[in-house]
Amino acid sequence: MTSTPTVGIVGAGQLARMMIEAATPLDIPIRLLAASPTDGAARIWPHVDIGLPKSTEDLHRFAQTCDVITFDHELVNLDAIRELEAAGKLVYPSSNSLLHAQDKLHQRTAFEALGLPIPPYRAVVTTEDITAFAADHGWPVVAKAQRDGYDGRGVWVLDGPDDAAQLTADAATNGVKLLAERFVPIQQELAGLIARRPGGEFVTYPIVETVQRNGICHEVLVPAPVSEPIRRRAEELTVAVAEATGVVGIMALELFLADGELLINEIATRPHNSGHFSIEATATSQFENHLRAVIDWPLGSTRLRSPAAVMANLLGRGQNDVSPGVRSALTADDSEVHIHLYGKESRDGRKIGHVTALGDDLDQTRRRATKAAEELMVTTA
């Protein structure tokens, strides 16, 4: 009998924590590479190595304890990952897939070459570069860090040359490489989610709408309230991008709907906030299918268990304490609202948990999810 491969997860945040929860019923062995023993996943799991995801030495030492390597985030040392691959270690997603998620300029260039729909863009260094781009595409201009941006970090909306001058000066001081993009008047933000095995077999999840404020996802509405042609196009793009990048595991594709057309915003090559609803709302969660994919097991069904689902993020408001709210929520007469806390210290805007509500009507389900999230976030003095 062949033993189940040991999956090593680089990173120990909430995504790793939820992967562990999905692995336990299937008895999939998990090891973690955590930056700190207080990381959310490290707090609940005994098999933890302490090390940094950008340290070649730490990654190589960790890899010796695992059969397959996967990731909680993309902020890793790609050169070290390539060395592991060259030595024969299974790494999913691969370094090539990770590069598309890690480097926005590489992603844009690759997708443009494939004819995929993206906003007009240009690598920029100076204020003059940005003003020249604006001369072609108008103000405001969206500027992005080419690497290491997430949850609204590393994204700036520039209203004119003065903003551009300030940003380029700051970027030069901090060694940040920039990308300029045309400002897109967004009607809706959508996301596609796909799980893909090494041989190319895949399953897709329902297309969702993500409700963003200040670059941070607040809610996910399932299924997305869009027309059938838009839904089909979003799914087609999700499959096309997954195949183009060769991703193994879960991939999320973030999309803008603008003027009735879809544009690609960016991708994530790991379980994603837009897929947390799947824990309760689909037959197989994104976390379970991610693990199944990276160890090349058959993928599970992604059918919805209810007509509607809404996920609401719990975002920190300073040093607030959710425990009084949890006790209150557990006494509420709503068995189809599900609470997930990540074991993370609260600070402004930080994702410290989420709730998912299931129901028959999207609007009513959204109200229940919002109500539960508000009741949980009890602010303390």
CA atoms within 13 A on the CB side of 83: 14
SS3 267: strand
The whole-angstrom distance between residue 224's C-alpha and the CA centroid of its chain comes to 17
Residues 166 and 193 reside in one and the same domain: no
Confidence category of residue 317, pLDDT binned at 50, 70, 90: confident
Task: Looking at the structure, tell me whether residues 279 and 200 fall in a common domain.
Answer: yes
- Sequence-distant (6+) residues with CB within 8 A of 36 are 12, 42, 50
**CATH number of 302's domain:** 3.30.470.20
Q: Are 317 and 337 in contact (CB under 8 A)?
A: no
Contact 69, 89 (CB under 8 A): yes
Q: Are residues 71 and 134 in the same domain?
A: no
* One domain, residues 136 and 32: no
Rounded CA separation 8/32 (Å): 6
Asked, as a colleague might, if the bond just before 223 is cis with ω within 30 of 0, I would say yes
Q: pTM for the whole thing?
A: 0.95
Please check whether residue 2 lies inside any domain of the structure: no
For residues 238 and 368, membership in a common domain is answered with yes
Q: pLDDT tier at 59 (50, 70, 90 boundaries)?
A: very high
pLDDT-based confidence at residue 377 (cuts at 50, 70, 90):
confident
309 & 366 share domain: yes
Report which of 251, 270, 243 is spatially closest to residue 70, judged by C-alpha positions. 270
Domain coverage including residue 330: 188-376
Distances in whole angstroms, Cα of residue 278 to Cα of each of 30, 93, 194, 284, 298 = 21, 20, 12, 7, 18
Q: Are residues 209 and 337 in the same domain?
A: yes
Whether the per-residue pLDDT at 380 is higher than 60: the answer is no
pLDDT in tens, 62-118: 999 999 999 999 999 999 999 999 999 999 999 999 999 999 999 999 999 999 999
Task: Name the more confident of 215 and 313.
Answer: 313
pLDDT band at 1 (very low <50, low <70, confident <90, very high): very low
- In a shared domain, residues 252 and 144: no
Express each pLDDT in 248-283 by its tens digit.
Answer: 999 999 999 999 999 999 999 999 999 999 999 999
User: Angle 228-245/95-102 helices, nearest 10 degrees?
Assistant: 130
352 lies in the same domain as 296: yes
Q: State the Cα–Cα distance between residues 248 and 226, nearest whole angstrom.
A: 28
